[in-house]
Structure 1
């Protein structure tokens, strides 16, 4: 794999016979990342070991979306105990962060393009700390053995994909930064194109250091000093310190789980948005959407209006629970969900819904967060039935556009709400020192009635993530579509007064009928979905890689799998 820079395309089969409790499988956004994880499983590694290898490779081959300079949240399923564990590695603001962090000299909020490229945009990265914590509990192989494949590929090079080419030549602020242009320089006065070979010896050197010295080498020592120095560069230098890096801690958390259609759905609590996904599905579960299908405009109206209600609540209440009381139980309480569902009518409400007042709700100001997408998702299951569902990010494309050691630094602090409401209680997602911004990341694990693994799912896409996952669950559990067909359903993201989506992928009669009901779908902005998942149906494991990206799957325990559509 490392020598030729290619990997087999396993996109054709969508299901494999389950001769055991589960097959070993890796589904991710790039074939080389999939192969890196599969090789670790073939060497006897656990699902978590393989997930670490996938992450390291994604940071090389999909640097616009994730990397060790960003943050990660994940869920782990332990087949022996049946336990689901959550891990939060969201980036964290430096201790000196405060209201006005992204203000200009006149006290006005900066334009987003300027804020994203500033030194203040970078939060303390959490990806390596998260995997180090999770591997301590779920790993089998020595830490150093998880780096070999990516180091070799970084040195020998890999072929630029058409999707990466689109980002290299994209029309967004980071694409014009000196670091991005230097990194993708083709040596002929231009930028690399699809099919060109990209080598990253600086990343290989960084990984060698981390393999030898552990995750602590990222948060202390020469690499930490380089990160601090790069964030302190103009324009608009940041104030991250070595103490901020050394003090970072990933967090193990209890998952947030609720029953649905004979399954138990588990995701992550705030500052992640699992509460939004679970509330959306609870809202839909009390409608007749299960008696409809994807060709029925009324089904999409129900999905749109339930989404608007969910986003009104999520946007208002979800933040870092170490700084704000998030009424998670109130938002998911059946009587509250019933009351919110009663607001859904035969037409789209002409005004955006206001947040409700669930039990335990704090009195806070309206949200002012603008959250772009620049993220990846992958799932891994090993031969023993252990599973990992991982969402990982550097925030928007190529993060802040600043590089250290062959990887991009995140611009995650622009996920905070910037505007201040003078004289009123602060927003749930207001910036503060040591605080983690709200995240839309919502990795999902599904358990059957006996507590056994039944599926794993997730997506990138910024604030659209809960809608992408909700659409897929609707197709999977209510319309009984195969997982790959549920993933491929057109995306619709209804939030506030906007109905964004893949307008041209809806049949013309459905789109016209929705317009008559007040849902005028417009081509959305931001990153496409990148849904990846597995699902057990009738004794067969289905898998799906979003056709909107470069993803695929590999079956290390099934080198010649009994597979068919």
Structure 2
């Protein structure tokens, strides 16, 4: 199935239901922005969007609604996120004019060392690391959500779990996307528990429309609802997690009860940078999303964007070059700032990005090399980690003017394939560089270390107008391509004036390494030929983003869910 182009369910307020909707010619059918006056939620699944709306209608905050949505996503979109994983959240408090960055990234167990992913003198093969207990980090999302709720929540904690509990007990229909991924991803049924849940007695994936119930997940949520995050990081739930990891018969890991008890979510300063007249704020280290999105936009802001057209070879070339420059720095410097020095502010400083923009030749592709945003004693070269495109993103604006942009993940599709008490465990340790040192002996910034958080490309973003008011909330799943998906959407919407739903649905560009990826069907043959003439090695392939956004224009909330997936926008 080329795309799962499912209908986007929009709940429109009566006051604006008859207003003209922007029609978008994308080649993927007619797409319209959702509109609302009071509140809006855009998530990766209609069940989760409705759960968020239920909380918003009761007067809950954006954080309250995000908690409810996450609990449902872990049930209906288990391949992408859940309480066995981690997340980054930006939360804006309108009354206090305060933006918080909540870091719920997983941490490495205390028992690992820097050679954890090395074997026989080289890095372990990816599939040997990804499945089973070996790459399970301490889950962070539950502790992060509790911390955010304590600061930015309004409704009782336990109430936020009720929509997911009810749905887990009554059951939900297996979606086309879930069914497709059960068929297509390798070794989904690698362990008995996950095989018994998602597959029938003959070993076939559950069909589309099958009513899937998860009473064990419902009981887990009840435990957390009454006992708080402590009930997840200690007691029977933590014991089950540790046992599944340590006793995995083929690929055991190092996670212990001490690791679980020691986990702490962190409140950090968001990283903000300039793009035209806007302030773009994102997740700083250990995410590379804030620095890389900011760098791409800051570089592109040096060019006359309004003279360029979406899909043209001129604009696409500039985006490719800016992305490759940003990724050269990202791969060199980005890591957990609690362990290494990350020059985040310098990486998005206007003067530095002006210098980087001068490296771009509008007529030809150039080799992107890392810059020197600060004087480092030892220049680090590129270190890759196999970050894969399975994650989820949601955006919410509540009646109080607060906003949340949150990206959440268990890493690869279905994570470690370990199903524990109704939810899947992550394999986020694979986001560390498998190789701890370069050939010259220099240490890789993103090497694995005890207690360290792996580098991420998750890029929850909130953009502000010059007067400090919210203008855009956006983000996407997609592994390291998240950065390009998010930056491209902001560029098209704010830089070129493209309506938000159209900006989301426009063709994706991937420029994260040695080749250029273009989404087929969006770029003309002439554009592709012109890019190749400039020296780009172009590959056309599906780029299955999941961009979700809410734009705030003249007091209206305009939302869009990526038509490539099954998300929905709801509001009133």
Whole-Å Cα distance in 2 between the matches of residues 217 and 348 of structure 1? 57
Asked if 1:402 corresponds to 2:421, the answer is no
Whole-Å Cα distance in 1 between the matches of residues 194 and 319 of structure 2? 39
Whole-Å Cα distance in 2 between the matches of residues 434 and 517 of structure 1? 45
Distance 1:362 1:89, change over 3 A: farther
Asked if 1:124 corresponds to 2:141, the answer is no
Asked if 1:9 corresponds to 2:24, the answer is no
Asked if 1:71 corresponds to 2:71, the answer is no
Question: Which of 553, 558, 562 is the equivalent residue of 1:537?
Answer: 553
SS in 1 for 2:447: coil
Whole-Å Cα distance in 2 between the matches of residues 189 and 505 of structure 1? 38
Q: Where does the alignment leave 5 or more consecutive residues of structure 2 unmatched?
A: 1-6, 12-30
SS in 1 for 2:222: helix
> Does 416-425 or 376-385 show the bigger shift?
416-425
Question: Are the aligned partners of 1:67 and 1:394 in contact in 2 as well (CA < 8 Å)?
Answer: yes
Distance 1:188 1:157, change over 3 A: farther
Question: Which of 281, 285, 304 is the equivalent residue of 2:297?
Answer: 281
Whole-Å Cα distance in 1 between the matches of residues 377 and 501 of structure 2? 40
Instruction: Report the alpha carbon displacement of residue 503 of structure 1 after superposing the two structures with TM.
Output: 3.0
Whole-Å Cα distance in 2 between the matches of residues 374 and 459 of structure 1? 10
Corresponding residue number in structure 2 for 1:231: 245
Corresponding residue number in structure 2 for 1:100: 115
- How many residue pairs are counted as aligned between the two chains? 544
Question: Which of 308, 313, 334 is the equivalent residue of 2:329?
Answer: 313
Question: Are the aligned partners of 1:330 and 1:360 in contact in 2 as well (CA < 8 Å)?
Answer: no
Whole-Å Cα distance in 2 between the matches of residues 513 and 377 of structure 1? 34
For normalisation by structure 2, the TM-score amounts to 0.92
Asked if 1:483 corresponds to 2:505, the answer is no
Corresponding residue number in structure 1 for 2:483: 466
Asked if 1:195 corresponds to 2:214, the answer is no
Corresponding residue number in structure 2 for 1:505: 522
Corresponding residue number in structure 2 for 1:324: 340
Whole-Å Cα distance in 1 between the matches of residues 475 and 48 of structure 2? 17
Asked if 1:266 corresponds to 2:281, the answer is yes
For normalisation by structure 1, the TM-score amounts to 0.93
Q: Where does the alignment leave 5 or more consecutive residues of structure 1 unmatched?
A: 1-6, 559-565
Whole-Å Cα distance in 1 between the matches of residues 376 and 81 of structure 2? 34
Asked if 1:221 corresponds to 2:238, the answer is no
Question: Are the aligned partners of 2:62 and 2:404 in contact in 1 as well (CA < 8 Å)?
Answer: yes
Whole-Å Cα distance in 2 between the matches of residues 382 and 118 of structure 1? 39
Whole-Å Cα distance in 1 between the matches of residues 110 and 305 of structure 2? 47
Instruction: Report the alpha carbon displacement of residue 110 of structure 1 after superposing the two structures with TM.
Output: 1.5
Whole-Å Cα distance in 2 between the matches of residues 59 and 177 of structure 1? 19
Distance 1:148 1:361, change over 3 A: same
Whole-Å Cα distance in 2 between the matches of residues 440 and 100 of structure 1? 23
> Does 279-288 or 326-335 show the bigger shift?
326-335
The CA RMSD over aligned residues, in Å, is: 1.9
Instruction: Report the alpha carbon displacement of residue 172 of structure 1 after superposing the two structures with TM.
Output: 2.0
Whole-Å Cα distance in 2 between the matches of residues 257 and 432 of structure 1? 28
Whole-Å Cα distance in 1 between the matches of residues 455 and 227 of structure 2? 31
Instruction: Report the alpha carbon displacement of residue 368 of structure 1 after superposing the two structures with TM.
Output: 2.9
Asked if 1:85 corresponds to 2:100, the answer is yes
SS in 2 for 1:277: helix
Asked if 1:140 corresponds to 2:154, the answer is yes
Instruction: Report the alpha carbon displacement of residue 181 of structure 1 after superposing the two structures with TM.
Output: 2.1
Asked if 1:386 corresponds to 2:402, the answer is yes
Whole-Å Cα distance in 2 between the matches of residues 516 and 248 of structure 1? 51
Whole-Å Cα distance in 2 between the matches of residues 293 and 511 of structure 1? 15
Corresponding residue number in structure 1 for 2:172: 158
Corresponding residue number in structure 1 for 2:570: 554
Instruction: Report the alpha carbon displacement of residue 423 of structure 1 after superposing the two structures with TM.
Output: 5.4
Whole-Å Cα distance in 1 between the matches of residues 311 and 204 of structure 2? 46
> Does 172-181 or 452-461 show the bigger shift?
172-181
SS in 2 for 1:519: coil
Instruction: Report the alpha carbon displacement of residue 16 of structure 1 after superposing the two structures with TM.
Output: 2.7
